[in-house]
């Protein structure tokens, strides 16, 4: 009986911890929707960076759960999208594809971080380089996933067509997204390294 109660307590504690992490992820996404940094040729919005960080730190399951929770909150009308907008109309609009692209992006970055975070018996520079390479690949593929959904959606929903959508919805943001990917890789790498010194694995 005591063993059963202990297991139940552990399960409840783990569930509560996951719920808190998901809520924190949702909060970060909401906050990032309001942030932008002056940059050339267009200002940097922080949501792509937030998605990469959430996926990279929470892992694929909790990362995706955070994004889905955020999108659900916005779909219900909460003003959590860029510019304080909310509602299904935003998700169905020209930029909705980018928002939906956050889901595969969080999963890809989370999966890459999980692979990079695996412990090895003999840490070395080679292992560190491998981890950085995995995170970099994850960040690039995750960013590409956002555009893979967002650009065609923009072209169809706005009537611009794919070629024009690439011109206005991809090319101007490429440099900024490469910078955000680099920041995310560095942050996730340092964070996972710090956590691994305290417990077996973050992921």
Instruction: Give the span between the Cα atoms of 149 and 62, in whole angstroms.
Output: 21
The answer to the question of residue 98 being in a domain is yes
Query: Domain limits at 62?
Result: 2-196
The single-letter DSSP state of residue 93 is S
Q: What is the pTM of this model?
A: 0.86
- The pLDDT tens digits for 44-101 are 789 999 999 999 999 999 999 999 999 999 999 999 998 889 999 999 999 999 999 9
Report residue 57 as tokens: 């730190």
Instruction: Give the span between the Cα atoms of 123 and 2, in whole angstroms.
Output: 40
Number of domains, the chain: 1
- The pLDDT tens digits for 24-59 are 999 999 999 988 877 766 677 899 999 999 999 999
The answer to the question of residue 201 being in a domain is no
Q: Dump strand ranges (E) for the chain.
A: 36-37, 44-45
The answer to the question of residue 67 being in a domain is yes
The answer to the question of residue 203 being in a domain is no
> How sure is the predictor about 123, in pLDDT bands with cuts at 50, 70 and 90?
low
The answer to the question of residue 101 being in a domain is yes
Q: CATH number of the domain that 146 lies in?
A: 1.10.1760.20
């Amino acid at each position: 009986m005591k063993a059963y109660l202990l297991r139940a307590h552990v399960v409840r504690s783990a569930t509560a911890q996951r719920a808190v992490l998901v809520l924190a992820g949702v909060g970060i996404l909401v906050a990032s929707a309001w942030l932008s940094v002056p940059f050339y040729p267009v200002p940097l919005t922080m949501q792509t960076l937030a998605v990469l960080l959430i996926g990279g730190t929470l892992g694929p399951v909790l990362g995706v759960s955070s994004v889905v929770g955020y999108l659900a909150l916005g779909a219900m009308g909460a003003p959590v999208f860029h510019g304080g907008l909310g509602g299904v109309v935003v998700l169905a609009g020209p930029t909705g594809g980018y928002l939906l692209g956050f889901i595969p992006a969080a999963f890809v970055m989370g999966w890459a971080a999980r692979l990079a975070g695996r412990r090895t018996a003999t840490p070395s520079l080679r292992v560190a380089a491998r981890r950085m390479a995995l995170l970099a690949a994850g960040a690039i593929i995750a960013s590409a996933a956002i555009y893979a959904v967002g650009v065609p959606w923009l072209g169809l929903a706005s009537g611009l067509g794919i070629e024009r959508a690439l011109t206005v919805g991809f090319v101007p943001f490429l440099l900024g997204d490469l910078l955000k990917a680099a920041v995310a890789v560095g942050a996730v790498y340092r964070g996972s390294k710090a956590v691994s010194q305290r417990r077996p694995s973050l992921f």
